[in-house]
Structure 1
Amino acid sequence: MTPANLADTVLSAARAVFETRGLDVGALPATTTMERPRNPEHGDYASTLALQLGKKVGVAPRELAAALAEELGRRDGVKSVEIAGPGFLNIRLDAAAAGVLARDIVLAGSAYGRTDRLAGERVNLEFVSANPTGPVHIGGVRWAAVGDALSRVLRTAGADVGTEYYFNDAGSQIDRFARSLLAAAKGEAAPEDGYGGAYIAEIAADVVKVEPEVLSQDPEAAQETFRRVGVDLMFAEIKKSLTEFGVHFDTYFNEKDLHDRGELQEALDRLREQGHIFEQDGATWLRTTDFGDDKDRVLRKSDGDWTYFAADCAYYLDKRKRGFERVVIMLGADHHGYIGRMKAMSACFGDDPAKNLEILIGQMVNLVRDGEPVRMSKRAGTVVTLEDFVEALGVDATRYALARYSSDSPIDIDIDLWTRASRENPVYYVQYVAARTASAARQAESLGVTRGEPGDFRADLLDNEKDNELLKTLGEYPETVAFAAEHREPHHVARLLEKIAGAYHRFYDEPACRITPKNADDPVTDGHRARLWLNDATRTVIANGLALLGVSAPERM
């Protein structure tokens, strides 16, 4: 029995109590949650439903809890119910009801953990969106790992998700990039406001290979060639790095397309229709202060040039026109000031910023070796890049390490820790369980232990304390994934996997929980087969969870 099944049972019992007592059935919630008591001696699960409903229907919570406990005690799978404090219900399941979860997980396979919690939501998730003026740096690496994990978690919770990379191929940064490439190709120093690093020389040389006559062009034409070809080459490298990191986007959106298709003017016209545009000092402004921004924003400057914020407005409108009800944008710590203006812009379009726009801010990451930050990249010179991260840790460890923490907390990633083959290394600890469950299954097969038919599964034999602990942690997986999706926090999945790993090690090391006979000539029992189901259920959940984080579940280590 999963927590969700038990929650349904509790609600069903509550309905029966309400009908018997003539209480207002309409006061019952559509759903309820089951909690894990901090002290396992208090039961398998706890419910606060009586506390929540007592006052609403004019019954003392403890009295209502007593009636619920009596009704629940009649339900299949419930071993006992105790009342604690002012009306808490501490519920214990019988072994058969708890153990059947192992079979259900194995039969569900990769579908275990999928819910319809966010069904019907169309979400546009934009992350990374690094400018094509250099390799993906350390902040972008964090968003690549977290954003991709979040997209997987959202889809598992039932949302319709479109992932997007905003490709800034217009503006002054691109001009500085082009000038830097031209200078490098000529053997000159980078412009004062330009870009340095070995990658600039590499891209410049590649541009010359593609356009051998570029250096004989006049300066303006040459700069345009380096801009056009250099941006394409740089972005191709960025896409290659992300692909090798396991990150794929549904859409790569070019900022230049907004200009070419006239979408900035369209956004301006829409905002004017909404009554939020005004002219001042020859410029066109958006009155964002009407919606809490600290100052109004220029959309078009007095010289006729569009601002970056105008492109932001047009891009947001484009996403909404494509049918995305919720626009989620992941930005670095230095973009915190964007929240106010972006929320106000959404309101200016007539949207509800609380519903239609979410901005997630990620904090800084440091890659640390021997207690000191790693500050220099071999290619980029002054920053740590995606390639540096992967070279130091590997793809799996990098993705897990970055997705394991709440993105609103700064973190130090210790190279020594995350490359260590020990239980102190969280990704090793979890992947070791993936490999250990696979090894246990192979050993069982070699000794003639098979799960048998699902109908022959003896769930009641999973009656050891360690069986129960492992089953309860496996049962938390669907709710954890749904919670991670709703709160945009995939790190909860990683933390549960580590909890499951600990429970599995204790299960595996318990002599009473053997998957195979102790001696080769001992008979295979239904207990061995039942625990093979539990072993394989653990591998299923570990593999599913790691897949959400974009991390492999090895069969051997």
Structure 2
Amino acid sequence: ANMIIAKFPKEEYYIERIEVAGAGFINFYMNKTYLTEVIKEIIEQDDNYGRTNYGQGLKVNVEFVSANPTGDLHLGHARGAAIGDSLCRILDAAGYNVTREYYINDAGKQIDNLALSVICRYEQLFGKDSVMPEDGYYGEDIIDIAKELAKLYGDKYLESTEERYVLFRDFARNFELEKIKRDLAEFNVYFDIWSSERELYRTQKVDKAIERLQEKGYIYEQDGAVWFRSTAFGDDKDRVLRKSDGTLTYLTPDIAYHIDKLDRGYDKLIDILGADHHGYVPRLKASIEALTGDSEKLEVLIIQMVRLIKNGEEYKMSKRSGKALTLRDLIEEVGKDAVRYFFAMRSSDSQMDFDIDLATKQSNDNPVYYAQYAHARICSILRLAEEKGFAPTLESQYDQITSEKSFDLLKKLAEFPKIITVAADKRAPHLITYYINELASVFHSFYNVEKVINEENPSKTTQLLALVKSTQITLKNALSLIGVSAPEKM
């Protein structure tokens, strides 16, 4: 116990003294003067309160969402977008140099099917009896794309040519991608880089990736196919990169893409992938190990499935379209803030039930309402104080803040920078939602017993208002880390 006491960083945790209290117990005594200094620190730092240099500018690339440009964003993409963007905000606040990246799968079979589906719908507009491809796309958006092309080109492209195929494919890809970008912007999610799979082929980076593995001796040929010796790096079996018919497997451009990211100078790559990619991780890490000697450069977070619950039952279809629910449907139904908060609330590796009734409830049972209501309530206290001629003060000592509830609140405020570094380190945005909920709860307890505006005691009032103001700043900053607004009125 005495060794723990000797090594414990007292200043970091606002501890005045530590004492051994019998077998197995240690008592910590808060330094209350120190603790009130956090008020001044928060008010002075304002939007920057909580930020640290923990990451020391380490360059981190976070790739997330990366949905195929063949249709709408579904619930899995929505959860990935919320968790990915929140993680980027948290890493940034913890002092990492973060790049957000979206990988566009625009070179595979899905894009071929998209192009062929649009061609079929285009021909049908001009009365041709065309048949959809086997794995075609039947959404309304395909008809919309065909109509746009008909408007632009009339019946010019009724004959099958390579020119038509390329034009329709690229038009459809861009149409779908713009829609995805609009939906993500509506969700407060933006990317620094949009990387194209087709571009990897155009710049021969896919062939070069195979060459680099070959130079290191990890490629062999068998049964006319090209294999990667991934078992040398812990994979359960070797993987085909080029099939005997000359076509490449999905793994090959993915290896090229990850090499490309590392060549761009990132210290760490974080991929946020859907649950269906679970078995894919060892082979990807094997390729990084083979080429760099350090598979730890790549970290993969798996996003588990989402079930929507309404009236106590699973809810899969949109009333409006009769089809699977999309991110857009969910935002329309419960609002952007509730979607962001609820998706950030659970650890990414746990399956989640998204309760629509709870997310739209205007009561303290709804965690996003509870948090935003706490912020709005604080703002109304500050407005009322201003009307009465009181304002928060910056003081060297807050000697009139003495109640236990005040110190509970101060302790919770002082924790915020540490919470950010832990959430960044564990890649765990849900820790921020836990903190928000706790802070709102501690504030409500404080406000229920503490008379903040007391016209008989102006100096205590201004000090308590400073504590209230620092709570407002911290709550707003915490909500901002998960992309949720902090309303001043509700």
Query: What TM-score do you get using the length of structure 2 for normalisation?
Result: 0.94
| Aligned match of 1:459 | 398
* Superposed counterparts of 1:147-546, under 5 Å: 147-187=84-124, 190-218=132-160, 221-353=163-295, 355-377=296-318, 382-452=323-393, 454-455=394-395, 458-510=397-449, 513-517=450-454, 522-546=455-479
Change (3 A) 1:218 1:192: closer
Change (3 A) 1:507 1:72: closer
SS in 2 for 1:516: coil
CA contact (8 A) 1:185 1:204 kept: yes
Match of 1:459, as an amino acid? Y
Change (3 A) 1:438 1:352: same
CA distance in 1, matches of 2:410, 2:224: 68
| Aligned match of 1:22 | none
CA distance in 2, matches of 1:425, 1:297: 47
Pairwise CA distance, 1:204: 2.4
CA contact (8 A) 2:64 2:102 kept: yes
CA contact (8 A) 2:50 2:416 kept: yes
| Aligned match of 1:113 | 50
| Aligned match of 2:127 | none
SS in 1 for 2:100: strand
Change (3 A) 1:285 1:111: same
CA distance in 1, matches of 2:360, 2:380: 23
Query: What TM-score do you get using the length of structure 1 for normalisation?
Result: 0.83
Match of 1:140, as an amino acid? H
SS in 1 for 2:236: coil
CA distance in 1, matches of 2:410, 2:324: 45
Deviates more, 1:189-198 or 1:307-316: 189-198
CA distance in 2, matches of 1:205, 1:237: 16
CA contact (8 A) 1:214 1:225 kept: no
CA distance in 2, matches of 1:67, 1:136: 54
Pairwise CA distance, 1:509: 1.1
Change (3 A) 1:501 1:99: same
CA distance in 2, matches of 1:176, 1:89: 67
2:70 to 129, 133, 139: 133
CA contact (8 A) 2:18 2:28 kept: yes
CA contact (8 A) 2:2 2:20 kept: no
Pairwise CA distance, 1:225: 2.9
CA distance in 1, matches of 2:71, 2:23: 61
Match of 2:82, as an amino acid? A
CA distance in 1, matches of 2:331, 2:349: 22
Pairwise CA distance, 1:339: 1.0
CA distance in 2, matches of 1:344, 1:72: 44
SS in 1 for 2:431: helix
Pairwise CA distance, 1:220: 5.4
Change (3 A) 1:183 1:378: farther
**5+ long unaligned stretches in structure 2:** 125-129
RMSD: 2.3
**Does residue 549 in structure 1 map to residue 486 in structure 2?**
no
| Aligned match of 1:8 | none
SS in 2 for 1:327: strand
**Does residue 83 in structure 1 map to residue 20 in structure 2?**
yes
Pairwise CA distance, 1:96: 2.0
Match of 1:545, as an amino acid? A
Change (3 A) 1:76 1:411: closer
Pairwise CA distance, 1:379: 7.6
Deviates more, 1:172-181 or 1:545-554: 172-181
Pairwise CA distance, 1:144: 0.6
CA contact (8 A) 2:212 2:291 kept: yes
Match of 1:212, as an amino acid? G
CA contact (8 A) 1:98 1:459 kept: no
Q: Deviations over 1:138-181 (max 9, x none)?
A: 10000111100000100111111111000011111111111222
Pairwise CA distance, 1:192: 3.1
Pairwise CA distance, 1:79: 4.8
| Aligned match of 1:19 | none
Pairwise CA distance, 1:421: 0.8
Pairwise CA distance, 1:87: 5.6
CA distance in 2, matches of 1:392, 1:214: 42
Pairwise CA distance, 1:389: 1.1
Match of 1:402, as an amino acid? F
CA distance in 2, matches of 1:63, 1:176: 69
Change (3 A) 1:228 1:77: closer
Match of 1:465, as an amino acid? E
CA distance in 2, matches of 1:401, 1:148: 14
Match of 1:486, as an amino acid? D
| Aligned match of 1:56 | none
CA contact (8 A) 1:362 1:408 kept: yes
CA distance in 1, matches of 2:312, 2:134: 33
CA contact (8 A) 1:404 1:490 kept: yes
Pairwise CA distance, 1:64: 4.0
CA contact (8 A) 1:82 1:89 kept: yes
Pairwise CA distance, 1:221: 4.6
CA contact (8 A) 1:300 1:306 kept: yes
CA distance in 2, matches of 1:252, 1:384: 25
Does 1 or 2 have the higher relative contact order (CA < 8 Å, sep 6+)? 2
CA contact (8 A) 2:220 2:229 kept: yes
| Equivalent residue pairs, number | 485
CA contact (8 A) 1:198 1:380 kept: no
CA contact (8 A) 1:327 1:358 kept: yes
Match of 1:229, as an amino acid? F
CA distance in 2, matches of 1:549, 1:68: 35
Match of 1:406, as an amino acid? S
